[in-house]
Structure 1
Amino acid sequence: MNAITRTSTAMLLAAALIAGASVHAAQTASPEKAAMARSASTITTADGVQLYYKDWGPKDGPVVVFSHGWPLNSDSWESQMIFLASQGYRVVAHDRRGHGRSSQPWDGNDMDHYADDLAAVIDALDLKRVTLVGFSTGGGEVARYIGRHGTGRVKKAVLVSSVPPLMLKTADNPGGLPIEVFDGIRKASLENRSQLYLDIASGPFFGFNRPGAKPNRGLVQSFWAQGMQAGHKNAYDSIAAFSATDFREDLKKFDVPTLVIHGDDDQIVPIDASGRASAKLVKGAELIVYPGAPHGLTDTHKDRLNQDLLDFLRK
């Protein structure tokens, strides 16, 4: 064995030992320490789930944290993140457990875990005076975060096309959607979820099924690609999380300035049972209705949304 080979071998052995020590440390860390463990772009929660996150813009800028919709990931916020980062804001977004580049745990695909994961990201990065922005399922995540963790680190909140207060029709929520709607989504997911995501994106999500609408192939492909990155079981379980979770008590705990934005042609999360209802439950909430806007207005109406977010942040 020559000198170069011996040196290379030694370097490889050293690297392996260091890696092994790191893995062992992570495995033996207490849950409290595990919740704070992070690398350059991941955070490990107390129950061992690795969450991928983005942290853009100046680190000393006002903080905006984004929570994404189903079955997407943090890439769905890129138009808002790059805009606000260019305006001097620090913008953070993570891939929800089971989605995107995060771990795909078999269990824990529910709103309580989603909210606790959001708390883990905020705590690990030690973010303060945060404006929370949630889209669709992410709006439920924001609501449950405030319900479970309070507003000690929160300055403002924004709900965009969001699922609260409760999507499912029940005896005390007659304006909700019948269970058959969500059972149909579950059935389609099991039969061919790839086709389901294409159908949602090329139809009601962006309003491409409306007369005269011109489908945008890029948006459809982006939705499909993000959806297919999600774990099958995780995305399936999340259907119940976004449809059957009752956020009414969470919304009543909001004690920070809150903006609700919703399109009045939202075919996925109808405005009357969601945006308008949430605005009534959150004390002092401001409601902005986008006439003719579909569910996916973060893309179809991104310029207006970006400006509305900026105006709200500057207040």
Structure 2
Amino acid sequence: MRGQPTYLTVNGLRTHAWKRGRGAPLVIVPGLGCASWMYARLARELARERTVFVYDPPGHGDSEGRSDYPVCIEHLTDHLAQWLQAAGLSGSPVFGHSLGGEVMFDLAARHPSLSPALIACAPTGIPENPSVRLQLLRLLRDLPRERPGLLWPGLRAYRRCGGRRMLLLARDQEAHMTGPLLPQVRVPTLLIDGAADPVIQTWTVERISSDIEGAIVWQIPGAPHGLTDTHPRAVAQLTLEFLRMVGV
């Protein structure tokens, strides 16, 4: 990924984010097991108008983790909150993909002063999230729909995160009560739905939108779960239009 790597020590861990572009800041939070380099195509499009920070959660990408941290979603949320403050990015809009969307909802509910607007792309975040086994089956259905060029970067990211950590975080989705937190999200929120996504289906996005007052849903036809990579221009256009609309 072109750009400038940045490092901060947060909760004793060296934490990485790529910085690219110029203008008002926007933070990207990756999905489960994903890494900053998997969002290079989206960051390039967003950087036309924004300074984009593609954050690596602890134990993901180029950020350090520990065997016991992070192993649950609240660990991810609290680390993100600490990193935003340490990076001087409090008050910046946050873009979350997949599990990154769930982390972002948790952040907005429990740390409401940290972000004035949210963009959630194919987000998890309701108690009805399927079992880990069903999620894996849906991911297998989704693989042929993704761009072949994402395969190696994705495998590299998953190997870096590790199967144990990914399994613990995926299992925590079943216990993580984001659902009751969703009505506590009181900032402008955009939900981007991939119409061809078998992992996070349209009904899930609609359910999340019904629990967040004023949430907007925009759908991208033909887009799979990895729409940040397959449809980066469309996702960026919707994101930038939304941020202009809400004045952030």
1:235 aligns with 2:166: yes
| Cα deviation code 1:169-225 (max 9, x no counterpart) | xxxxxxxx246525xx4xxxxxxxxxx9xx95xx433553xxxxxx64312222212
Aligned positions of 1:65-214 closer than 5 A: 65-87=27-49, 89-108=50-69, 109-150=71-112, 152-168=113-129, 177-178=130-131, 180-181=133-134, 185=136, 200=139, 203-208=140-145
User: Are residue 287 (structure 1) and residue 212 (structure 2) matched?
Assistant: no
CA contact (8 A) 2:220 2:234 kept: no
Distance 1:251 1:207, change over 3 A: farther
Q: 2:223 & 2:147 partners in 1: Cα distance?
A: 15
Q: Matched residues in 1 for 2:53 and 2:120: separation?
A: 16
2:184 partner SS: coil
Amino acid paired to 1:44: T
**1:225-269 deviations in Å (ceiling 9; x for gaps):** 221221333222121134442211221111111100112321112
Whether 1:264 and 2:229 are equivalent positions in the alignment is: no
What SS is found at the alignment partner of 1:252? helix
Letter in structure 1 aligned against 2:117:
K
1:55-66 alignment, distance < 5 Å: 55-58=19-22, 61-66=23-28
**Percentage identity across paired residues of the two chains:** 25
1:226: which partner in 2? 157
Answer 1 or 2: higher relative contact order, Cα 8 Å, separation at least 6. Answer: 2
1: CA distance, partners of 2:18 / 2:165: 21
Alignment TM-score, normalising by the size of structure 1: 0.70
Residues 164 and 275, structure 1, Cα contact 8 Å, conserved in 2 = no
SS at match of 1:53: strand
Give SS of 1:41's match.
strand
Q: Give the residue type in structure 2 aligned to 1:160.
A: C
- In the TM superposition, residue 167 of structure 1 has moved relative to its aligned partner by 4.2
Aligned length: 240
Name the structure 2 match of 1:33: none
Structure 2 length as normaliser, TM-score? 0.87
Q: Which runs of 5+ in 2 are unaligned?
A: none
Deviation at 1:70, TM superposition (A): 1.7
Q: Which amino acid aligns with 2:176?
A: T
In the alignment, the residues of structure 2 paired with residue 102 and residue 72 of structure 1 have an alpha-carbon distance, to the nearest angstrom, of 12
CA root-mean-square deviation: 2.2
1:38-95 superposed Cα distances (whole Å, 9 cap, x missing partner): xx7222223x23221122223xx212111101221112222222222222x1211221
Q: What is the rounded CA distance, in whole Å, between the counterparts of 1:265 and 1:69 in structure 2?
A: 18
* 1:301 maps onto 2:238 in alignment: no
Structure 1 residues 64 and 206, CA, compared in 2 at 3 Å: closer, same or farther?
A: farther
AA of the residue aligned to 2:93: T
Would you say the 8 A contact 2:38–2:150 is kept in 1? no
CA contact (8 A) 2:10 2:86 kept: no
**Secondary structure of 1:237's aligned partner:** helix
Query: Against the structure 1 CA distance between its residues 110 and 216, is the aligned structure 2 distance closer, same or farther, given a 3 Å change threshold?
Result: same
Any runs of at least 4 consecutive aligned residues in structure 1 with deviations exceeding 6 A, and if so which?
none
Q: Using a 3 Å threshold, how does the CA distance of structure 1 residues 230 and 42 change in structure 2: closer, same or farther?
A: same
